[in-house]
Each structure stands twice: as structure tokens, then as C-alpha cells.
């Protein structure tokens, strides 16, 4: 399929005796904002490096933007911007000099002026245009991170592969980068963002893949993963939590809902106002039935799983570097 920006088949990598990646079938559609998740050591980085031709697969095939990697790397990689395992630059040169050198390493159509403007645009986009001649050595961690992203953007790539893009950024930096990525996505750039920060991916991405011990254990649209679970979470307002009022409301709800009540009502966790928490199968007019029965419904929410739930339920190496 030509609309796949990234496709791997049976991608496998062994480093000596260590099986880093096993039989991974990655599918990233053009226009996706793909979140590539997994704890440290799960094979994420090895997979990304294979996509970029840095690491050669032991077995399996890689197609990026319609070309094979590494065979067609010279054709497809110019349309890919990447930041892998942190930014890197020549310390004694300025950020601008670094980008210019890197851009000049592979000639592209357009003259020197075009190239310079491209570099300025990328620096501008990451808020680095005013840094001047300061050597990269004197940059803060966040500035280096932004320089790394700028470097990936210089070529205005169709596919942007970013490893931990918000690493080391302050909140403003994170907002800047997230906005920028959404903006690029809106312009049609396919994003492949690898991260161990679930919340970052959850906000940014439309699709996720989760690696665990070298296997791709989840690959789905975020919306599908977060589809309603078929349960409603209902909170009934009661006068006093400790009073009989609560027990009465719970009992009445049980009568009204019958088998739709899935769990025993519990006191609502909200400390501000007294209430009873119900877990109800989302069938029929639950709220209407309760209200008609004379109960005060303060809140009724369709239950959705969080990405954290999904990832934690599917991965084994929990807690090691994975956080919400």
C-alpha cells in the first residue's frame, strides 16, 4: 500500500546473542501521528535505527515512504527528518553553523540562499534564531534538544522521526514543541514519536504502537484503544455520606437498575460533596431511570480506558521507565 509511511515485515534484530527486536510488523500510515511506546530496553530504539538504515536488520523488511531501507536509503531518507537518542552537534560551533554544515553535507536543489533560509526557518521555528554565535557547548539541555529538532526539520521532511522530543524541555518548551508538531501534522507531515512518556503520546498521537521485550504488543488507533468500555460511572448526590441517606440511595438504585448495576455501590471518592458511586452497564436510559426513580444524578460518565491502562495491561516490564 502506497499510503503507508512506514511498514516493516518480520523485522528482527539480534546483537550477538541478545535478541533486541523480534518479528515486528510496524504500520504507520501517511498523516499519522504515531506514538511509539515502550520501556527502556524494549527494542524501540533498535527499531527506529533500522527504519533509518543505521542498524541493519538480521531478518525482515523495512519500507519507508515507499522505498526499501537500507537499499533505497539514498532516495527516501532525504524526505525523513530524525532525532535519535538525543541531539548531537559539534560543540565548538554555533547551532547555526552546525545546521549549515549538516545541510551542506548532502547537496539539494536550490542555491546557497535557499539552504540558508531553510536553516533560518528551522531555527526560528524552535526559537533559536536569536541565539547568535554562542557555541553549542554553552547551550542548555533544552536548547540542545530544540536544536536537534530544528536539525530534523531543516529539510521539511514528509516523515519526522523523533525520539523523546520533549526530553529536557521546560514547560514552555514542551508547549512550543507540541504545538509545532501538531502544526506540522496539520500540514501533512507524518510523525513517528517514540517516547516512554505516555501522557505526551496520549495528547499528541492518533495511533500508538507499544514495544515490549522486542515484540510489538499493541498497535492501534488511540481512539480505538480509548473506545467506551460499555460502562457508565454514575455519581448520585446524597445529603450526607455517613447518614442512612447514602445506603437508601444505593438500595434504590439497585432496585431501579437491576442487573445493570455491575458492582456494589460505594461512597463517592469526591471529598467535597457526599455521594454514591455506581458502576453501570451502559444499556437503556440509565440516567433517566435513576432520575425518574427520584435519585439525584450529579455526574454520569462514559468509562474509557486510559493509555496507561492499555500499556500496563499489555507490557510486562512495567515501572521500568514507563510513567503516565
Partner 1 sequence: MPAAPHRRAAGLRWVVVVLGTVLLVTAALVGRPAWSAGGGDGPEGGDAGGDGVTRVLARAAASASVPFTGTATSSGALGLPDLPRLGDVAALVGESTRTRTWWAGEGTWRTDVLTATGERGQYASGGQLTGWDYERDAITVDAPLSGARLPRASDLLPPTLARSLLAGATPEQLVEQGATDIGERVVAGRLADGVRLRTTPTAEQPDASRLSTLDHADVWVDRATGLPLAVDVVDIVGGPVVSAAFDDVALGAPNPAALVVPDPPGASVRTAEVDVAAGAATAAPWALPDQLAGLPALQDPLSTGAVAYGTGLLRLAVVSLPAEQGRQALFAAEAAGADPLDPADDASTPAARTALVRAGALSAAIVVVPDGEGRRERRAYLVSGAVQPELLTRAAAQLVTEPPERRP
Partner 2 sequence: MRLAALTGVELRKLALRPRTWVSVGLLCALPVVVAAFLGTSELAPRPGQGPAFLSAVLGNGQLYPAAALGIVVPIFLPVAVCVVAGDAIAGEAQAGTLRYLLVRPVGRTRLLVAKLFAVLAFTLGAVVAVALVSFVAGTQLLGTRPDALGTTTASLSGTSLSPQELLVRTLLVMAYVSVSMLGVAALALLLSTLVDSPLVAALGGLALLVASTVLVGLDAASAIHDLLPTRYWLAWVDLFRDPILWTDVRRGVLMQLGWAGVLLAAAWASFTTRDITS
**One residue of 15, 18, 40, 61 binding partner 1 per CB under 8 A:** 61
Rounded CA gap, 88 and 83, in Å?
9
Rounded CA gap, 137 and 90, in Å?
8
* Residue 43 near partner 1 by CB under 8 A: no
Shortest Å distance, C-beta 151 to partner 2:
7
* Residue 321 near partner 1 by CB under 8 A: no
Q: Which of partner 1, partner 2, none does residue 86 bind to, with CB < 5 to 8 Å depending on kind? A: partner 2
**One residue of 15, 18, 40, 59 binding partner 1 per CB under 8 A:** 59
- Name which of 68, 83, 156 is nearest 119 in CA terms: 156
Shortest Å distance, C-beta 15 to partner 2:
7
Q: Which of partner 2, partner 1, none does residue 162 bind to, with CB < 5 to 8 Å depending on kind? A: none
Rounded CA gap, 170 and 142, in Å?
7
Q: Could you identify the residue written with the cell 455506581?
A: 278
Looking at the DSSP bridge assignments, the partners of residue 323 are 197
Shortest Å distance, C-beta 179 to partner 2:
24
By rule CB under 8 A, what count of residues binds partner 1?
11
Q: Which of partner 2, partner 1, none does residue 77 bind to, with CB < 5 to 8 Å depending on kind? A: partner 2
- Output DSSP code: residue 133: T
Contact 218, 225 (CB under 8 A): yes
Q: What proportions of the chain, in percent to the nearest 5, are helix, strand and coil?
A: 35, 30, 35
Shortest Å distance, C-beta 135 to partner 2:
11
* Residue 101 near partner 1 by CB under 8 A: no
Shortest Å distance, C-beta 105 to partner 2:
5
- Name which of 70, 63, 78 is nearest 6 in CA terms: 63
Q: Give the three cell numbers for residue 201.
A: 503520546
Site for partner 2, rule CB under 8 A: 15, 49, 52-56, 73-74, 77-78, 80, 82, 84-93, 97, 101-102, 104-107, 151
Rounded CA gap, 297 and 152, in Å?
51
Interface residues with partner 1 (CB under 8 A) are 10, 12, 23, 56-61, 70-71
Amino acid at each position: 500500500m502506497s499510503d503507508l509511511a512506514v511498514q516493516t515485515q518480520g523485522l528482527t534484530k539480534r546483537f550477538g546473542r541478545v535478541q533486541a527486536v523480534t518479528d515486528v510488523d510496524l504500520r504507520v500510515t501517511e498523516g499519522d501521528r504515531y506514538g511509539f511506546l515502550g520501556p527502556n530496553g524494549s527494542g524501540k530504539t533498535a527499531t527506529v535505527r533500522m527504519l533509518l538504515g543505521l542498524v541493519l536488520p538480521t531478518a525482515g523488511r523495512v519500507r519507508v515512504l515507499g522505498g526499501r531501507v537500507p537499499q533505497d536509503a539514498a532516495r527516501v531518507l532525504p524526505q525523513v527528518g530524525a532525532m535519535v537518542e538525543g541531539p548531537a552537534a559539534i560543540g565548538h560551533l554555533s547551532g547555526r553553523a552546525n545546521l549549515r554544515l549538516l545541510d551542506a553535507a548532502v547537496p539539494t536543489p536550490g542555491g546557497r540562499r535557499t539552504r540558508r533560509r531553510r536553516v533560518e526557518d528551522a531555527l526560528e521555528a524552535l526559537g533559536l534564531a536569536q541565539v547568535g554565535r554562542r557555541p553549542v557547548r554553552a547551550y542548555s539541555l533544552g536548547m540542545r534538544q530544540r536544536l536537534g529538532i530544528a536539525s530534523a526539520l531543516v529539510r521539511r521532511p514528509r516523515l519526522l522521526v523523533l525520539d523523546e522530543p520533549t526530553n529536557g524541555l521546560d514547560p514552555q518548551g514542551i508547549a512550543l514543541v507540541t504545538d509545532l508538531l501538531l502544526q506540522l501534522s496539520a500540514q501533512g507531515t507524518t510523525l513517528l514519536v517514540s517516547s516512554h512518556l505516555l501522557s505526551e503520546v496520549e495528547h499528541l498521537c492518533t495511533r500508538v504502537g507499544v514495544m515490549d521485550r522486542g515484540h510489538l504488543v499493541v498497535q492501534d488507533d488511540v481512539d480505538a484503544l480509548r473506545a467506551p468500555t460499555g460502562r457508565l460511572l454514575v455519581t448520585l448526590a446524597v445529603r450526607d455520606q455517613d447518614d442512612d441517606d447514602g445506603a437508601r440511595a444505593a438500595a434504590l438504585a439497585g432496585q431501579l437498575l437491576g442487573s445493570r448495576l455491575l458492582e456494589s455501590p460505594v461512597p463517592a471518592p469526591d471529598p467535597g460533596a457526599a455521594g454514591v458511586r455506581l458502576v453501570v452497564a451502559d444499556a437503556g436510559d440509565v440516567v433517566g431511570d435513576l432520575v425518574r426513580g427520584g435519585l439525584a444524578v450529579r455526574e454520569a460518565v462514559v468509562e474509557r480506558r486510559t493509555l496507561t491502562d492499555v500499556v500496563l495491561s499489555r507490557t510486562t516490564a512495567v515501572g521500568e521507565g514507563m510513567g503516565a
